[in-house]
Structure 1
Amino acid sequence: MVPWNGPRAKVQIKLSIQRLRTLQEKKLALAKASRRDIADLLNKGRVETAKLRTEGMIQDDIYVELLEVLELYAEMLQARFNLLEASTGTEPEPSISDAVCAIVYAAPRTELKELQVLREILMHKFGRNFSLSLQQSDPPPATVPVRVLSKLALFTPSKELVDAYLGEIARGYGVAWTPESSNNDTAAPEDDEDGGIEPLKRDGETEADDKDKDGGDGDAGGGEKDAKGGSRDQKTTVKDDGEKQKQKEDKTSPVKQQPTAIPPPASATPAPAKKLTEEEELAQRFEKLKNLR
């Protein structure tokens, strides 16, 4: 274990920050090349291979986020180095506790030798018990920040996340590809436009049964017609009785005088229209055209 040395620790923090930035740039360049390769796979129709590559790219993106968080904590130690050097107890000051615990816990999960040397310096600074409390365990130590634990958690990317990554890559490189879920969503309304789902028939029903049903409906219609014919005969007899009763009432009641129609006055009849000459007709047409304008 490397013993504590203030100037050396300060230089080691600075080296760790530089290496963290360099590694992030390297990972981002590799991710860009990986996205281009995935777009080529989608263009060739190798979707399954593209999905596997995308899962690896998602893990690399999470690793880059972890490097960003560790860089932030290293800069915090650099800015508050006086507090770090003045600490004499077995635990760091509360203002730098998250930074120290994050670097000691997460440094072994990185590929940076400079960060691992800084980890050993910090472990020597705060003692053996502090170092043992930050060993890998399940559940993880409570002193480690949650933002670091979330980046270190192992998981398999979900199908929705992989499809979202593939969709963005296809859109960025102009590849005609859409996720399977979106294709299923667009196919459903097309089925409705074609006429919907046909009603299900019971077992044993055939077209002949449908024809028999139609024939039965026709017979029922004939019976209804006969019933209508009988009702019409009854209506005619009732109508004749009503006319006879009305004639009897007319004989007994006095005759009413009908008002005489008055002819309309002679002035109300329209006068015959005068026949216009060709010049007058042309003049009227021009007037209509002017009004239209």
Structure 2
Amino acid sequence: MRRDLAQLLETGQDQTARIRVEHVIQEEKTMSAYDLIVLYCELIVARLPIIESQKRCPIDLKEAISSIIYASPRCADIPELLEVRKLFSAKYGKDFTGAAIEVRPDSGVNSLIIEKLSARAPDTDTKIKVLTEVAQEHNIKWEPTAFEENIEVHQMDLLVT
């Protein structure tokens, strides 16, 4: 995907690159979230005997368990997370599960997981940063100033209409 972005920048297709960079950023955020999910799953597996022996969620596992529960509906391509959520819901109750899914105060969900799985579009600075990195990685001479000016003109056009 980054190579495709580089080709767009090289051929002067900044508008298309501006749109596609959002997808690249979202994919990178998702992959980063998956890395955290894997670590949390490994921690949970390693501590299963503790989980089985206690009625309440162990304090040192609350972040991992809550974050897995939070991620379960947001990672549809990992259906096993929904099964794990059901198991934790049966063990700790629907209130515990609901708090994690809704990110209530003291739910324990890792803020990085929340940010990485957010569907919010990246801001202009993030887009420019990634496009600049891609240009540097592929030795492409690309100036973000034209890109920034184009965005400002486009935003002004939207305000005028």
1:165 equivalenced with 2:133 (yes/no): no
Letter in 1 for 2:89: M
Shift of 1:87: 1.6
Q: SS of the residue aligned with 1:135?
A: helix
Shift of 1:135: 3.5
- Quote the residue 1:153 is aligned against: 118
- Quote the residue 2:22 is aligned against: 55
- Quote the residue 2:84 is aligned against: 118
1:176 equivalenced with 2:141 (yes/no): yes
Shift of 1:181: 6.8
The Cα offsets for residues 212-270 of structure 1, whole Å up to 9 and x where unpaired, read as: xxxxxxxxxxxxxxxxxxxxxxxxxxxxxxxxxxxxxxxxxxxxxxxxxxxxxxxxxxx
Shift of 1:146: 2.0
Q: Measured at CA, do residues 161 and 128 of structure 1 come closer, stay the same or move farther in structure 2, by a change above 3 Å?
A: closer
Distance 1:76 1:37 in 2: 37
Letter in 2 for 1:84: I
Distance 1:178 1:117 in 2: 48
Gaps of 5+ in 2: 150-161
1:104 equivalenced with 2:72 (yes/no): no
TM-score (norm: length of structure 1): 0.46
2:50 is aligned, of 80, 83, 99, to 83
Distance 1:158 1:117 in 2: 34
Q: Measured at CA, do residues 93 and 180 of structure 1 come closer, stay the same or move farther in structure 2, by a change above 3 Å?
A: same
Letter in 2 for 1:174: N
Gaps of 5+ in 1: 1-33, 185-293
Distance 2:93 2:125 in 1: 46
Q: Measured at CA, do residues 161 and 93 of structure 1 come closer, stay the same or move farther in structure 2, by a change above 3 Å?
A: same
- Quote the residue 1:69 is aligned against: 36
Shift of 1:73: 0.9
Q: Is the 8 A contact 2:14 2:147 kept in 1?
A: no
Q: SS of the residue aligned with 1:74?
A: helix
The Cα offsets for residues 163-202 of structure 1, whole Å up to 9 and x where unpaired, read as: 1211111121122212117999xxxxxxxxxxxxxxxxxx
Residue identity (%):
27
Matches within 5 A, 1:199-278: none
Runs of 4+ in 1 over 4 A off after TM superposition: 181-184
TM-score (norm: length of structure 2): 0.81
- Quote the residue 1:282 is aligned against: none
Shift of 1:63: 1.0
1:141 equivalenced with 2:104 (yes/no): yes
Letter in 2 for 1:47: D
- Quote the residue 1:219 is aligned against: none
RMSD of aligned Cα (Å): 2.1
The Cα offsets for residues 75-99 of structure 1, whole Å up to 9 and x where unpaired, read as: 11112111111122xx301111111
Between the two proteins, the alignment pairs up a number of residues equal to 146
Letter in 2 for 1:141: R
Distance 1:100 1:157 in 2: 28
- Quote the residue 1:45 is aligned against: 12
- Quote the residue 1:94 is aligned against: 59
Higher relative contact order (CA 8 A, sep 6+): 2
